[in-house]
Amino acid sequence: MSIELKMPALSPTMEEGTLARWLVKEGDTVSSGDLIAEIETDKATMEFEAVDEGVITQLLVAEGTDGVKVGTVIAIIQGEDDVATAAPKAAAPVATQAPKPAEVAAVPAPAPVTAPVAAPSHSSGDRIKASPLAKRIAANSGVDLAAVSGTGPNGRIVKADVEAFSGAGRSPAPSSAMDPGLRRESLATDNRPSTGSGLTVDGGDIPHEVVKLSNMRKTIARRLTESKQQVPHIYLTVDVRLDALLKLRGELNASLEPRGIKLSVNDMLIKALGLALIQAPKCNVSFAGDTMLQYSRADISVAVSVPTGLITPIVTDAANKSLSKISTEIAELAARAKEGKLQPHEYQGGTASISNMGMMGIKQFEAVINPPQAMIMAIGAGEKRPYIVDDALAIATVMSATGSFDHRAIDGADGAQLMKVFKELVEKPLGLVA
């Protein structure tokens, strides 16, 4: 009995993936649990295991193929007990179908008409792969894309394929009569890369290259667009004095040096946000339509920049972890995030996020909420500023922290309470180690 291996959903947001690499070839024998492929999701590159033992009889999707929909059959395993009987069965259709090509060849007249239909390279899949521009041209020209052979990557139908198909029976007179300047403008416009939203971008004469989006970048674009369109953001900013926290950090690092641990300011801010969410529980929530999820644990998603985009590994139960534990966890998670080796449970979920661009010199910014979370803290750079200390003007190290809140779930007063608690914890940091 043959077993179909289908493209799995390796993350809640995954709708399609890239089959990055096959680890087996046709004819290989595999057992349950054997690694057979590497699949690039919207967040990381994951290893795909065989679900049963048998022989790989077909690899239906070539490695490097992107846009493979979840649920698409990518390979077939033949049970070992059936391998011996599979070969004779496979030979039978060949013998019975042998005369069919002769039958087709015996009717030469309709050959030009049926020739386009004989391009089943893309009709055998779940969808027709075509560029947005090719689809628009086909729709305007009344061309059935199922009848068009694709010459793009992996059989993708591009603009030239549709034009070649639809233009076969057209008179070239109109195009030859077109003003050369207008024709050049038209061609330049038609070749503009699509933004994926029905718009096109014209690079004009500016030197440029077209860079293919990674699955992660596609997901970031989609989810953050949805966030700004659907989530009513409210922004609250506080200035936080860092001098006491920096002094405590220096003392703690001196004591932790024999253990090879060095705390960062960000490690301490993660702890502060975790404690603040517990003390201001109305902000530790997710909006869920007619209901709201109220969390009793603060799991902090930490924004980490990776070559393909942005990923947010999670520090679970940040409020109850020591600073040294948070520091070692973040270092390990960030390293594996940059290698694309995070496991789904390490980046899926979280009750709130923190994004720190202070190390890049950014004074203040407003971060976009990552749904279904209802808040994210944006951390700016600590810098020397004039500041009122003990009713007198002094110079202090101050940073700006901006909370972005989902106003459907969190009122302004509740968000202000969280920012107040966060500021107090940072300015009186002994509470972080108590």
The predicted structure's pLDDT at residue 379: 98
How far, in Å, CA of 155 to CA of 136, rounded? Answer: 18
- Is pLDDT of 179 > 70? no
How far, in Å, CA of 248 to CA of 117, rounded? Answer: 73
The predicted structure's pLDDT at residue 107: 43
- Pull the structure tokens for residue 333: 């998670």
- Is pLDDT of 213 > 70? yes
Most confident among 87-101, 196-210, 390-404 (mean pLDDT): 390-404
Of the two residues 430 and 36, the one the predictor is more confident about is 430
- Is the CB of residue 42 less than 8 Å from the CB of residue 215? yes
Q: Which residue has the tokens 């989530």?
A: 231
The predicted structure's pLDDT at residue 63: 85
Q: What is the CATH number of domain 217-432?
A: 3.30.559.10
The predicted structure's pLDDT at residue 42: 66
Mean pLDDT of 61-82: 81
The predicted structure's pLDDT at residue 87: 46
Mean pLDDT of 60-69: 85
The pLDDT tens digits for 114-133 are 444 444 444 444 567 777 77
Confidence band for 167, pLDDT divided at 50, 70 and 90: low
In total, the chain counts a number of residues equal to 434
Kindly report the backbone phi and psi dihedral angles of residue 327, in degrees, each rounded to the nearest multiple of 5, phi listed first: -60, -50
Using DSSP's 3-state secondary structure scheme, residue 77 falls into strand
- One-letter amino acid of 59: L
Share of the chain above pLDDT 70, in %: 78
Mean pLDDT of 358-380: 96
- Is the CB of residue 380 less than 8 Å from the CB of residue 399? yes
- One-letter amino acid of 66: D
Task: Check if CATH label 2.40.50.100 holds for domain 2-97.
Answer: yes
The predicted structure's pLDDT at residue 406: 98
- Is pLDDT of 200 > 90? no
Instruction: Output Rg (C-alpha) for the chain, integer angstroms.
Output: 29
- Is the CB of residue 273 less than 8 Å from the CB of residue 300? yes
Chain mean pLDDT for the chain: 81
Active site residue 407: yes
- Pull the structure tokens for residue 155: 């059989």
- Is pLDDT of 18 > 60? yes
Cis check: omega of the bond before 372, within 30 degrees of 0 = yes
Give the helix/strand (H/E) hosting 159.
helix 159-166
- Is the CB of residue 397 less than 8 Å from the CB of residue 419? no
How far, in Å, CA of 31 to CA of 115, rounded? Answer: 43
How far, in Å, CA of 223 to CA of 69, rounded? Answer: 18
How far, in Å, CA of 39 to CA of 16, rounded? Answer: 10
- Is pLDDT of 3 > 70? yes
- Pull the structure tokens for residue 3: 């077993």
The pLDDT tens digits for 306-346 are 887 888 999 999 999 999 999 999 999 999 988 888 888 89
The predicted structure's pLDDT at residue 82: 57
Q: Do domains 2-97 and 217-432 have the same CATH topology?
A: no
- Pull the structure tokens for residue 431: 């509470």
The predicted structure's pLDDT at residue 116: 43
Cα 212 to Cα 207, 215, 291, 334, distances in angstroms: 17, 10, 39, 25
- One-letter amino acid of 249: R
Using DSSP's 3-state secondary structure scheme, residue 311 falls into strand
The pLDDT tens digits for 239-281 are 999 999 999 999 999 999 999 999 999 999 999 999 999 999 9
Confidence band for 195, pLDDT divided at 50, 70 and 90: low
- Is pLDDT of 56 > 50? yes
The predicted structure's pLDDT at residue 174: 44
Cβ neighbours around 82 below 10 Å, total: 14
Distance of CA 430 to the CA centre of its chain: 38
Mean pLDDT of 381-395: 93
Per domain, the residue ranges of the chain are 2-97, 217-432
The pLDDT tens digits for 130-141 are 777 778 788 877
How far, in Å, CA of 67 to CA of 44, rounded? Answer: 15
Mean pLDDT of 188-200: 53
End-to-end Cα, the chain, rounded Å: 62
Of the two residues 280 and 65, the one the predictor is more confident about is 280
The predicted structure's pLDDT at residue 198: 54
Nearest to 39 by CA among 340, 345, 348: 340
- Is the CB of residue 375 less than 8 Å from the CB of residue 403? yes
